[in-house]
Chains A and B, each alone.
Chain A
C-alpha cells in the first residue's frame, strides 16, 4: 500500500517536471512548480527526512512560488 503511494507520488513528480518544462504559459508553469514542490515535500517525508520536508514545503512551495509570481506580474505572462 505504502509502495503504491510512493510510486504514484513519483509518477506525479515526473509528470509535473515534464509539464513544467513544456508549458508556454508562465503562470501555469509557476503553479505546477508549486504542486511539484508539495509532492516533493511528501516524498522527503516518506524518505525519512522530515527536516528537508519542512524546508521544501516552506521554501519550494511558498517563497519560490511568490518570487516567481511577483516576477511574472512585473514582466509578461507568455513566453515568446
Chain B
C-alpha cells in the first residue's frame, strides 16, 4: 500500500500542516480556533504520516508511549494552571491581571494561551493514540506490551 506519489506529497505538505496547527493553537485567544481545532490539525498530520509511510515508521517518529504520556501531561498542565488561581487566593482558573497586556497582541490574555497549549497537546495526542490503536492491529502480533 506504499505509494511514491502519496509519500512525496505528504513529505512536502507535512511542515505546512504542522505550522498551521501551531498557529491555530498559539493564536487561540485573538483569532478563530484554539486548542481543540489546532490539536486536531496537528493530529491529522501525524495520522497522515503514519498512514502513508506505514505504522512502523510512524511509531519511530512519535512512539505510542510518548503519545500516551503527552496526553496525561496535557491534562495535568491544565489542572496545575487552574490550581495557581486557588494558590493566589482566588477561584479555580482565575487569570493573572498583571499578564493581561494589550488586547490583540500575541503575548496577552494571561493564562489563556498556556491553557490553549495544554488543550492542544491533549487533543493531538488523544487523536493520535486513538488512530494508532486502530492502525497497529496485526502490526505487533508477536510482541505484546
Assess the A54–B131 pair: CB atoms within 8 A: no
Instruction: How many A-B residue pairs have C-beta atoms within 8 angstroms? Tell me.
Output: 44
Assess the B44–A51 pair: CB atoms within 8 A: no
Assess the A63–B134 pair: CB atoms within 8 A: no
A50 to B139, CA, bound (A): 39
Assess the B44–A70 pair: CB atoms within 8 A: no
Judged by a CB distance under 8 angstroms, whether B51 is at the interface is yes
Of B41, B134, B137, which is within 8 A of A58 by CB?
Answer: B41
What is the interface residue range for chain B against chain A? 10 to 19
Q: Provided the pairs A63-B127, A71-B134 are in contact, do residues A54 and B47 lie with their beta carbons within 8 angstroms?
A: no
Docked complex: B33-56 residues within 8 A CB-CB of A = 33-34, 36-37, 40-41, 43-44, 47-48, 51
Assess the B37–A67 pair: CB atoms within 8 A: no
- How far is the CB of B6 from the nearest CB of chain A, in Å? 13
Assess the A51–B33 pair: CB atoms within 8 A: yes
Of B24, B36, B135, which is within 8 A of A70 by CB?
Answer: B135
Q: Which A residues are CB-close (under 8 A) to B130?
A: 67
Assess the A70–B40 pair: CB atoms within 8 A: no
Q: Provided the pairs A51-B33, A54-B24 are in contact, do residues A66 and B51 lie with their beta carbons within 8 angstroms?
A: yes
Cβ proximity bits A32-64 to B, threshold 8 Å, 1 near / 0 not: 000000000000000000110111001100110
Interface residues in chain B, defined as those with a beta carbon under 8 Å from any beta carbon in chain A: 24, 32-34, 36-37, 40-41, 43-44, 47-48, 51, 127, 130-131, 134-135, 137
Between-chain CB contacts (< 8 Å), 26 pairs = A50-B32, A50-B33, A51-B34, A51-B37, A54-B24, A54-B32, A54-B37, A54-B41, A55-B36, A55-B37, A55-B40, A58-B37, A58-B40, A58-B44, A59-B40, A62-B40, A62-B41, A62-B44, A63-B44, A63-B47, A63-B131, A66-B48, A67-B134, A70-B131, A71-B134, A74-B137
Known: A62-B40, A70-B134, A74-B137; 12 extra A-B contacts, CB below 8 A, are A51-B37, A54-B24, A54-B32, A54-B37, A54-B41, A55-B37, A58-B40, A63-B40, A63-B131, A66-B48, A66-B131, A67-B131
The 3 closest A-B pairs by CB, nearest first: A58-B40, A50-B32, A54-B37
